[in-house]
């Protein structure tokens, strides 16, 4: 199991599953497949509900998830067009509303986002790009790959073209350690993506792995 994964049980058949750590914040139910999900929804009466058309009053069956998407429901496009012509502009129920009514509004913005990078402007600067593409950086990458036997240090992947050299101490924030081999570790593309935003929490483990290799030699 990877560092960013956790164990959960399928809510329908109780089968053990491996899920991503960040999904624990957004999901409340887990299923091993679409069939289990459908069976669970039927058992828990969580599939369909009856609503009335906002224009003609005719009853319509919709899925529960669509209740969150809109305030008014219509039996067809014709009813929707007629209602819209009557209630357009300031009379519309959603007129003037912002994204704040959404339960996820602002929850994963800024530092709370898994893609957040402090001082991102420094990383995108032309000077840093030139350093990343320099001959010295290529030599540093090869030295890191060679020490780690061209293998991802999290999952053990060794596929050619899928490996990346990760700076343990951030490239933009610690310029004096950019070419230090002990400040690099080999990760595959997927594992490198999975630790973005959580780099500091992995520093101790990565340095410990590098120290163990140094002692072995």
Domain shared by 19 and 57, yes or no: no
| pLDDT above 60 for 100 | no
Mean pLDDT in the chain? 79
Domain shared by 152 and 75, yes or no: no
Domain shared by 138 and 202, yes or no: yes
Asked if residue 110 belongs to a domain, the reply is no
Asked if residue 148 belongs to a domain, the reply is yes
Domain span holding position 22: 1-45
With b meaning 16 or more CB within 10 Å and e meaning fewer, what string describes 25-55? eeeeebbbeeebbeebbeeeeeeeeebebbb
Asked if residue 99 belongs to a domain, the reply is no
pLDDT of residue 210: 86
Structure-token pair, residue 15: 């089968």
Structure-token pair, residue 131: 């350093």
Does the predicted TM-score (pTM) go above 0.75? no
| pLDDT above 90 for 173 | no
Domain count, the chain: 3
Task: Name, in order, each residue with C-beta under 8 angstroms of 3's C-beta and a sequence gap of 6 or more.
Answer: 154, 194, 195, 202, 205
Banded model confidence at residue 95, pLDDT cuts 50, 70, 90: low
Place of tokens 């090869």: 142
Domain shared by 143 and 172, yes or no: yes
CA 23 – CA 25 distance, rounded (Å): 5
Looking at residues 126-154, what average pLDDT do you find? 87
């Amino acid at each position: 199991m990877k560092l960013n994964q956790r164990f959960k049980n399928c809510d329908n058949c109780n089968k053990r599953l491996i899920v991503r750590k960040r999904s624990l914040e957004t999901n409340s139910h887990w299923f091993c497949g679409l069939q289990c999900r459908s069976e669970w929804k039927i058992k828990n009466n969580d599939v369909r509900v009856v609503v009335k058309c906002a224009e003609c009053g005719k009853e319509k069956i919709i899925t529960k998830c669509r209740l969150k998407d809109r305030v008014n429901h219509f039996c067809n496009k014709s009813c929707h067009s007629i209602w819209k012509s009557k209630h357009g502009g300031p009379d519309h129920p959603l007129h003037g509303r912002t994204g704040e009514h959404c339960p996820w509004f602002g929850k994963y913005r800024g530092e709370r986002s898994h893609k957040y990078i402090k001082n991102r402007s420094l990383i995108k600067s032309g000077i840093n790009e030139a350093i990343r593409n320099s001959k010295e950086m290529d030599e540093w990458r090869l030295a890191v790959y060679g020490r780690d036997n061209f293998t991802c240090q999290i999952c053990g992947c060794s596929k050619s073209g899928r490996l990346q050299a990760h700076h343990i101490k951030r490239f933009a924030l610690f310029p004096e350690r950019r070419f230090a081999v002990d400040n690099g570790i080999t990760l595959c593309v997927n594992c490198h993506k999975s630790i973005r935003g959580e780099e500091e929490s992995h520093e101790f483990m990565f340095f410990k792995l590098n120290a163990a290799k140094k002692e072995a030699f």
